[in-house]
Amino acid sequence: MTPTEEIARRRAFAIISHPDAGKTTLTEKFLLYGGAVQLAGSVTARKDQRTATSDWMELEKKRGISISSTVLQFDYQGYRINLLDTPGHKDFSEDTYRVLTAVDGVVMVIDAGKGIEAQTRKLFEICRRRGVPIFTFMNKLDRPTRDPMELMDELETVLGIQAYAMNWPLGTGSDFAGVYDRGGKQAHFFERTAGGAYRAPETIHDLGAPAVRARFSDETYARVAEELETLEIAGSEFDQEKVLAGQLTPVLFGSASNNFGVQLLLDSFLAHSSPPRSRVAAGGRVVEPTEPAFSGFVFKIQANMDPRHRDRIAFVRVCSGKFTREMAVTHAQSGKRVRLNSSHKLFGRERETVDEAYPGDVIGLVGHAGFGIGDTLTEDPAIVYDEIPRFAPEVFAYIHSQSTSQFKRFREGLDQLLQEGVVQGLKVADSMRQTPLLAAVGPLQFEVVQYRLESEYGAGTRLENAPWGMMRWVAPDTDTEALGGALPSGSALATDADEQPVVLFPSEWAMGYFQRQNKAVELSATPFQKAR
């Protein structure tokens, strides 16, 4: 294949949702229908089987939620798919945001019984700001649901995006039997399998076939026919250009747990989504995937994914050119030339050596302690991608080592987790305390830090709540000495890991009071861009 053909067959996308909408279940079913696993949700130690789960961390299994984003790469019907499962819980929004910088499309999973929820809306807004194409999967049709027409209307009114139903549910709840594919003009009926572990047996008929009418009461059949007619007359028209611009979302209905409609969703996404898109680098330069010089950026760092490999992986999204193992590139942030020797294709926590990769691929690089989140790797030093913004933390705590004998392991592990971006580390100005101060979007991030320090580094810890509830970055040219004297009671001046000044406020009221009294001081909920 030519490089252009290799690029055209790549798809990099993430699955996003509110917690418990079925995101990780859908990820497993994509792997099942994509042929990457033979049994959905299975985990095996056999090296000759490509079976893994996206929730690989033991804490994820205990809590029943996704804590860390996961890369799953596999081939399906001529496509090379890079699928990224993301955390749904709001406390891990930063990890999800980083992933969204590395994809060209998303599948948004919505619980059809609940409709659009808070985290769904927040993630959607991030996608819309980046112009990422969004495909919507109305999940859990096998349970009691809201009216499908209401769900479609909610997408358009609450999220402000046009919605086009690619298929339509044939019944809901215990009567949910399948979906009508509007493009193929055929009804797809499915049969349940034990635990949804295998592909659901499927039969396909024309909508007016006797076998279809026999599945429903006259009332249900008439209602479905009326809804489909309404969609044809009053619904949005399908427009591929609007889909790729993030202005129209194709909507598909189904049940991930029972495998109803999963293959239709996967096939529809691949047919209508975008191959790798151009990227905007610093200075407004547009970098096309076909540009000959290799470039990419680090969007995630993870240590100790596999107990057999106590190492550190930098996840890199390839943006242009061709990656080849052992190639030499420039690390833009340090200006150093580095050789990329240990490169891997990723499937959950499983890995295998990869010799080449193209735009749209995600590769894992091992053995580069100097790489940080947002860093650019490139053959052309003129290409530097913008940094990945961090979120303003809302919870703060000091973390103590429980034992002096474990302090070295504690410090080593904490430094690694801070570099991964699991939480942020702060240093309070003029403070004599040596205890590390951590800052996070939500308290579950602290739980992850403590769990990983204990399980991966053998370091027990104790948390001490800190008295702040808000943080804002301060413009770099601010006179911080004068600023310190103007802060309200209970506030503090500090610096982040990049030595950028921040202010810690005890409450939102205190921050508002400070801003009213000091209108010339510029505060921001995200770090100020550093001068290049």
Q: What is the pLDDT of residues 204-213, one digit of tens each?
A: 999 889 988 8
Q: How far apart are CA 164 and CA 156, in angstroms?
A: 10
- Out of 3.30.300.30, 3.40.50.2000, 3.40.50.300, 3.30.70.3280, the CATH code matching 395-524 is 3.30.70.3280
Q: What is the pLDDT of residue 129?
A: 83
| Residue 84 exposure: Cα atoms within 13 Å on the Cβ side | 30
Amino acid letter, residue 402 = Q
* pLDDT surpassing 90 at residue 62: no
Written as six digits, the tokens of 417 are: 């987790």
Phi then psi for residue 471, to 5 deg, are -140, 140
In angstroms, what CA-CA distances link 445 with 24, 120, 289, 449? 19, 20, 35, 6
Asked if 79 contacts 10 with a C-beta cutoff of 8 angstroms, the reply is: yes
**Residue in 50, 81, 68 with CA at minimum distance from that of residue 352:** 50
Which tokens sit at 25?
């279940």
Decide if pLDDT at 51 tops 70: no
The pLDDT value given to residue 432: 83
339: Cβ contacts below 8 Å, ≥ 6 apart: 326, 327, 328
Q: Average the pLDDT over 295-322 and give the result.
A: 87
Query: In Å, how far are 102, 300, 307, 364 from 315, measured between CA atoms?
Result: 10, 5, 18, 5
Structure-token pair, residue 488 = 């309200």
The token pair at 530 is 């550093």
Give the strand pairing for 286-287 and 350-353.
unpaired
Query: Which bin fits 323, alpha (ψ -120 to 50), beta or left (φ > 0)?
Result: beta
H/E element, 503: strand 501-505
pLDDT band at 49 (very low <50, low <70, confident <90, very high): very low
d(CA 115, CA 75): 32
CA atoms within a 13 Å half-sphere pointing along the CA-CB vector of 395 = 17
Residues 6+ apart with CB under 8 A from 72: 27, 31, 36, 52, 54, 82, 83, 84, 85, 346, 347, 348
Q: Is 464 helix (H, G, I), strand (E, B) or coil?
A: strand
d(CA 449, CA 393) in angstroms, rounded, equals 15
How far apart CA 372 and CA 39 sit, in angstroms, is 36
In this prediction, residue 60 carries a pLDDT of: 53
Element (H, E) at 204: strand 202-205
Architecture of domain 12-69+86-275: 3-Layer(aba) Sandwich (3.40)
DSSP string spanning 167-197?
A: EEEES-GGG--EEEETTTTEEEEE---GGG-
Residue 237: how many other CB atoms lie within 10 Å: 9
Count the residues in the chain: 532
Residue of 97, 307, 263, 268 whose CA lies nearest to 84: 97
pLDDT-derived band at 64 (thresholds 50, 70, 90) equals: low
**Residue range 66-74: mean pLDDT, rounded:** 74
Nearest 5°: the CA angle 186, 109, 389 is: 140
- What pTM does this model have? 0.86
Work out the pLDDT band at 118, boundaries 50, 70, 90: confident
**Phi, psi (rounded to 5 degrees) for 52:** -150, 170
Distance separating alpha carbons of residues 511 and 468, to the nearest angstrom: 11
For domain 280-378, the CATH class is alpha beta
CATH 3.40.50.300, the chain: domain bounds:
12-69+86-275, 280-378
Cα separation, 294 vs 309, in Å, equals 28
Distance of CA 514 to the CA centre of its chain: 35
Q: How confident is the model at residue 367 (pLDDT cuts 50, 70, 90)?
A: confident
For residue 60, what are the CA distances in angstroms to 43, 57, 347, 444? 14, 5, 17, 11
Mind listing the pLDDT tens digit for each residue in 423-459? 999 999 988 888 999 999 889 899 999 999 999 999 9
Euclidean distance between CA atoms 251 and 151, whole angstroms = 10
pLDDT (tens digit, 9 = 90+) per residue, 154-204?
999 999 999 999 999 999 898 899 999 999 999 999 999 888 888 999 999
